[in-house]
Amino acid sequence: METIFSNTKDAFSLKTNFELLRAMFLFKIIQNKLLVKIGASLTNFFFKFYIPVTPIIKFTVFNHFCGGVSELDCNSVIKKMFNKNVSSVLDFSTEAFKTEKEFDKCFNKKLSIIEFIKNRSEIPFAVFKPTCLGSIDLFTKVSNADKLNTEEENQWQRVLQRFEGVCQKAHDYDIKILIDAEEVFVQKAIDDLALKMMLKFNKNKAIVYNTVQMYRWDRLDYMNNLLDNNNGIIFGFKLVRGAYMEKEREIAKKSNTKSPICADKAETDLNFNNGLDLVFNNLHKINLVCGSHNENSVLKIMKMMSDNDISNKDDKIWFGQLYGMSDNISFNLAIHGYNVFKILPFGPVRNLVPYLIRRAEENSSVKGQTGRELQLIVNERNRRRLL
């Protein structure tokens, strides 16, 4: 079906012929589940034994999916995208931190990024992954309402202080901040912290946005409960489908418990749509970020905005896609005046490997999306008469 998203000329206007060729090869490889599995194991092996593969990774997959090693590296791509009215959200890689020292370092890095983006309209949001500010074990214990010993209690207080420090700084500079969602076993603690932050900082407008993973069948109840029990604030919700499906199912299987994930894709899609209905029925107290590469979901929101007389540029509604994916959605939304950003990951190559492997695995398990991505690249190469 032809939609605004079929326009490849504008979608790939920032990509050189070489970059298109590289993207085509990457998505061809990513399409193959076995190759992705072998590639992921090999990459982990190379890094474990300090085999120097960084230049190869940087030249290929890293440069396609990431903005650079430092925030300054990202400036040129931020500028180019903003010329096309696509904003950026800088996401510093923060996987697998374990010590208090690392959490403090990460906290300071998040503060310095907020400093870097203040007064820059091309970077309207900050973002952080909660478990970069405290240990996964601690988040798990708090989520399970386990009793904490004195040391753990102190550590948790520090997590709270870091959370509050990041949100406070964002609030002071009037920058919206996205809190990523993670696995179910840590999410209850994250949700509780996010609510605390929204109650403190979202009195007049949505500054803090919590992420709601609609592949979880319990999330409509979660949102309804929040709305019913908290007054006087503007909720910020980032609606996504969810990135940890296979892991969640495995955990549920191993522990012989019911999977927290919807039974199939159709059920997730329905849940996502119901989530959108809930948001649009409560737009007087919810601001929305839709983090999705699903064209139908984005088209649905565009229609809901038009049905509700909401201007394309209304700051209440933002769309987000990951850098290196679904440019046809981002750049065509921008042409039509909608608010849209790219999540732009950056950091040392080694630190970004888990993120890159996740992108590859996700793309190889969602055949339709990768096929679509590849088809659009081929269409554009055809249009440029490169094939």
Tell me which residues touch ligand FAD (CB under 6 A).
180-181, 211, 213, 215, 240-245, 261-262, 264-265, 268, 291-294, 297, 320-322, 343, 362, 366, 369
- Give every CB contact of residue 218 below 8 A, 6+ residues apart in sequence: 260
Nearest distance from C-beta of residue 89 to ligand FAD, angstroms: 8
- Give the residue with the Cβ less far from ligand FAD, 155 or 211: 211
* Least distance between ligand FAD and beta carbon 113 (Å): 17
Nearby residues of 72 by Cβ (< 8 Å), 6 or more positions away? none
Nearer to ligand FAD, 7 or 213 (CB): 213
Q: Which CB, 46 or 217, lies closer to ligand FAD?
A: 217
Spatial contact of 151 and 92, defined as CB atoms under 8 Å apart? no
Cβ-based nearer residue to ligand FAD, 110 or 381: 110
Pairing assessment for the beta strands 286-291 and 125-128 based on DSSP bridges = unpaired
Task: Select from 124, 122, 148 the least CA-distant residue to 135.
Answer: 148
Question: With respect to ligand FAD, which residue has the nearer C-beta, 181 or 278?
Answer: 181
Q: How many helices, marked H, and strands, marked E, lie in the chain?
A: 17, 8
Rounded least distance, CB 220 to ligand FAD, Å:
15
Left if phi > 0, otherwise alpha if psi is -120 to 50, otherwise beta: which for 309?
Answer: left
Phi-psi region of 68 (alpha: psi -120 to 50; beta: other; left: phi over 0): left
Minimum separation from the CB atom of position 266 to ligand FAD (A): 8
**Which of 132, 261 has the CB closer to ligand FAD?**
261
Are the beta carbons of 251 and 187 closer than 8 angstroms? no
CB 235 within 8 A of CB 208: no
In the complex, minimum distance from the CB of residue 345 to ligand FAD, in angstroms, rounded to a whole number: 11
Shortest distance (Å) from residue 269 CB to ligand FAD: 7
